[in-house]
Amino acid sequence: MDYRVRLDSFEGPLDLLLHLIEKNEVDIYDIPIAVITEQYFDYLSAAEEVNLDNLAEFLVMAATLISIKTRMLFPRPDAVPPDGGEEEDDPREELVQRLLLYRKFKEVASYLASRQEGEEPRVYYREDDGRQEDTSPAEVRASLPELFRAFQAIWAEKRAKPASYVVTQADVDVGEKMKDLLYRLRQHPRGMVFQDLFTTAGSRREALVLFLALLELVRQRQVRATQDTSFGRIRVQLLD
């Protein structure tokens, strides 16, 4: 496989999914979920360098994809109707709606870009002439929230930098990570936020292995992952 695309070149998991749908020329209303999920994981593994902050977002989607795939393979038993006993919906429905909505705003974004560039009819306001600007020296204004935002921006950047790694073969294995996760979850009886599980991961590879370990624990029913709202935080908890 030759995926020479950087994960960073996608705006996020939805952008990557749209790319895959387009590349495979499949119907967005009838996504072959197994194929797309596989390719999605291929992208994650092929990415050479990735910002860990972003990786969490990609992994949340990976979890969603796997859950959809599972639901398509094993429809829920009729005995346990999910909410209210309606007929089982297409498990892909919600994802499709999200993709459609995101695609709409992506289109608006490129429309805005062409307006900015003057490729579409548009009005122009006066250009501030530089002459007016530097005549008044001292008066400046600023606000405390602005200062704090600047502070956060700087530190976020600083944190982001060392979090970016070129993948080296580290000796992390799934079994090790499963033990690790169980240990950490025991420290948090009320559960942990999915993203927070990854803050200790030193590399993309380690994060991936951690993710696989989590999936295995979910499969073995040692751990439960819940999400209240679509795209809300995923909470991970020990099952006793």
Partner 1 sequence: MLARDEIKAAIEAMLFASGEPLPLEEIARVVGIPVEDTNGILNELVLEYNKSGHGIQVVEAAAGYSLCTKDTYYQFVKAVRRRPAKKLSQAALETLAIIAYQQPVTRAEIEAIRGVRAERMLNSLLARGLIAEAGRKEVPGRPVLYVTTPEFLKLFGMTGLTDLPREDKEA
Residues near partner 1 (CB under 8 A): 11-15, 53-54, 57, 61, 98, 101-102, 105-113, 115-118, 120-130, 132-133, 136, 138-154, 156, 158, 229-231
CB of 96 to partner 1, least distance (A): 14
Which residue type is seen at 31? I
CB of 152 to partner 1, least distance (A): 7
Backbone angles phi and psi of 237, in degrees to 5: -140, 150
The smaller minimum CB distance to partner 1, of residues 1 and 140, is found at 140
The smaller minimum CB distance to partner 1, of residues 25 and 128, is found at 128
Per-position DSSP letters for 21-80, written without gaps between them: HHHTT--GGG--HHHHHHHHHHHHHH-SEE-HHHHHHHHHHHHHHHHHHHHHHSPPPTTS
Residue from 233, 237, 217, 239 nearest 60 by CA? 233
CA angle 169, 172, 175 (to 5 degrees): 150
Contacts of 130 (CB under 8 A, 6+ apart): none
The smaller minimum CB distance to partner 1, of residues 59 and 172, is found at 59
Beta bridge partners of 235: 193, 226
CB of 193 to partner 1, least distance (A): 12
CB of 219 to partner 1, least distance (A): 25
Interatomic CA distance for residues 146 and 158, integer angstroms: 18
CB of 65 to partner 1, least distance (A): 13
CB of 27 to partner 1, least distance (A): 17
Interatomic CA distance for residues 181 and 211, integer angstroms: 10
The smaller minimum CB distance to partner 1, of residues 79 and 123, is found at 123
Tokens at residue 42, please? 């291929």
The smaller minimum CB distance to partner 1, of residues 74 and 105, is found at 105
The smaller minimum CB distance to partner 1, of residues 153 and 239, is found at 153
